[in-house]
């Protein structure tokens, strides 16, 4: 076909077909954002950086909110608004040191200190319970319990006072159960498929620890139950195990709620949860429950502004600790609450991702247990504040005011960080391009290189969280101790 030509011989562009529009570059639009996010998550050190950022932001939010909640009361009592936040900052620094130490320690060290940690938790919890029982037994009915002092050492409710230092042994019990339970399950290896091997001595020791903790602190006991359940789930325990465990836990919780007369507030909290309109005493939780809901409703979408809460001025009990999420809702609104929830969601995803990718069985179990501990405690705390669960008195991890809880949580996060650095891709990348020597000396040494995978690794029981064998093929349970550094 002839193409029309101009008089001067040039092609008639008007008659030529219009060029087709250029196709959109690959990776544009929403799919492009997902591809970019997937590329970031596929990087070798993604888990490590996600963990550092989520934990760091949660601690920062916690320091800001502790200052916001306690500043007015501190100024009225001492003339300075910085008393509580300064103390919390000191504990955060101590916690960062614990994070640094736990990040540097090899697996063999954690497994070596597992039994001593558990024994220390038993001794401290037994001492606190015994001192509390003796003080209560010698106090006439209706009068305030006066603690018994043994020189500079004395116990009061959940706390053990050692001179000027105040610690909460229940927090030590959490990390002790993680380390000891993971070490025991790894040493038992494939024999955990037997009920007798799974529960001896795991079940009696754990039940004894739960009862010691639950006598004074039912909330921490429930958190330990969640942690222990996560440990068994990650180890690949069978479903009937959880049914028996649920029955034992329910019986124990009912006994602790109904038996001790001095713990009547526990039953009152349950009654308030099912019927908030009942005429319950303010200390039993109704006043705190309703004021917390008032603070949440007062915040709206964007909050009344940082530092502008009215409920924190002595009108919401434990606003700096158990109910700090209610002040977050009042001052920062739904947006601030979503930020906190997203950070906890990021921490949950990162922890389970680490447990799925790391090869060492002890690290896998410990990472899964620590992650479920953090997310379980956060769910219990936030659920109590918003009215979806009974109030338990558990602090919000990394955010609530409290020294022992923050130090122990950051130490456990350091264990997660050590596991993140031991992921196979991360370890290979760090060995391929090692950081400077002074960085390794001041921050963390190079992680161990992953072992060569065997084709027969699938013939032994695997953890449910990862699908990988609990014990490396060809090694007995007793020989796994100390293999990984």
Q: Could you tell me if residue 362 is inside a domain? A: yes
Query: Which position has the higher pLDDT, 287 or 206?
Result: 206
User: Does residue 458 carry a pLDDT above 70?
Assistant: no
pLDDT digits (tens, 9 = 90+) for 87-129: 999 999 999 999 999 999 999 999 999 999 999 999 999 998 8
Length of the chain equals 485
Q: How many domains does the chain have?
A: 1
Question: In whole angstroms, what is the distance from residue 341 CA to residue 54 CA?
Answer: 11
pLDDT for residue 449: 81
Q: From the CB of residue 244, how many other CB atoms can be counted at a distance below 10 Å?
A: 12
Q: Could you tell me if residue 31 is inside a domain? A: no
In the predicted model, what is the mean pLDDT of residues 226-245? 84
Q: Could you tell me if residue 450 is inside a domain? A: no
User: What are the Cα distances from residue 459, in Å, to 188, 191, 473?
Assistant: 16, 13, 8
pLDDT for residue 314: 76
In the predicted model, what is the mean pLDDT of residues 213-233? 87
Q: Could you tell me if residue 425 is inside a domain? A: yes
Of 482, 478, 470, 450, residue with least CA distance to 231: 470
Q: Could you tell me if residue 403 is inside a domain? A: yes
- What is the CA 30 to chain-centroid distance, rounded? 32
Match 């799919």 to its residue by tokens: 31
Q: Could you tell me if residue 230 is inside a domain? A: yes
Q: Could you tell me if residue 29 is inside a domain? A: no
Query: Which position has the higher pLDDT, 476 or 249?
Result: 249
* 75: containing domain: 45-140+150-445
pLDDT for residue 363: 94
260 — pLDDT class (breaks 50, 70, 90): low
Q: Could you tell me if residue 458 is inside a domain? A: no
């Amino acid at each position: 076909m002839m193409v029309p030509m101009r008089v001067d011989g040039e092609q008639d562009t008007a008659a030529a077909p219009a060029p087709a529009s250029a196709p959109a570059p690959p990776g544009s639009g929403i799919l492009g954002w997902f591809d970019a996010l997937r590329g970031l998550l596929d990087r070798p050190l993604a888990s490590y950086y996600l963990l550092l950022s989520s934990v760091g932001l949660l601690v920062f939010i916690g320091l800001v909110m502790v200052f916001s909640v306690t500043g007015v009361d501190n100024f009225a009592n001492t003339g300075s608004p910085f008393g509580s936040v300064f103390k919390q900052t000191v504990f955060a620094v101590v916690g960062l040191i614990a994070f640094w130490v736990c990040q540097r320690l090899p697996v063999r060290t954690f497994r070596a200190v597992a039994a001593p940690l558990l024994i220390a938790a038993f001794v401290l919890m037994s001492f606190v319970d015994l001192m509390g029982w003796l003080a209560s037994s010698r106090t006439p009915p209706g009068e305030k319990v006066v603690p018994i002092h043994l020189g500079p050492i004395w116990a009061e409710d959940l706390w053990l006072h050692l001179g000027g230092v105040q610690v909460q042994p229940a927090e030590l019990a959490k990390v002790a159960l993680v380390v000891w339970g993971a070490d025991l399950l790894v040493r038992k290896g494939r024999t955990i498929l037997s009920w007798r091997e799974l529960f001896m001595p795991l079940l009696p020791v754990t039940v004894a620890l739960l009862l010691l903790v639950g006598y004074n602190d039912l909330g921490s006991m429930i958190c330990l139950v969640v942690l222990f359940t996560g440990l068994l789930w990650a180890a690949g325990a069978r479903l009937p195990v959880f049914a028996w465990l649920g029955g034992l836990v329910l019986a124990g919780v009912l006994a602790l709620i109904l038996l001790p007369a001095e713990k009547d507030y526990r039953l009152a909290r349950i009654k308030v949860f099912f019927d908030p309109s009942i005429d319950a005493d303010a200390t039993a939780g109704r006043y705190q429950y309703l004021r917390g809901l008032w603070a949440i409703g007062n915040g709206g979408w964007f909050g009344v502004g940082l530092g502008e809460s009215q409920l924190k001025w002595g009108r919401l009990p434990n606003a700096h600790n158990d109910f700090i999420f209610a002040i977050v809702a009042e001052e920062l609104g739904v947006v601030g609450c979503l930020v906190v929830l997203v950070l906890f969601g990021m921490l949950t995803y990162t922890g389970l991702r680490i447990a799925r990718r790391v090869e060492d069985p002890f690290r896998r179990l410990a990472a899964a247990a620590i992650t479920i501990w953090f997310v379980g405690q956060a769910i219990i705390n936030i659920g109590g504040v918003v009215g979806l669960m009974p109030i338990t008195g558990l602090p919000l991890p990394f955010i609530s005011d409290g020294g022992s809880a923050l130090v122990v949580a950051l130490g456990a996060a350091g264990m997660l960080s050590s596991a993140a650095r031991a992921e196979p891709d991360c370890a290979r990348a760090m060995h391929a391009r090692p950081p400077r020597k002074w960085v390794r000396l001041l921050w963390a040494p190079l992680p161990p290189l992953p072992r060569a995978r065997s084709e027969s690794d699938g013939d032994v029981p695997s953890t449910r969280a990862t699908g990988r064998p609990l014990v490396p093929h060809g090694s007995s349970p007793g020989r796994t101790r100390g293999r990984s550094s």
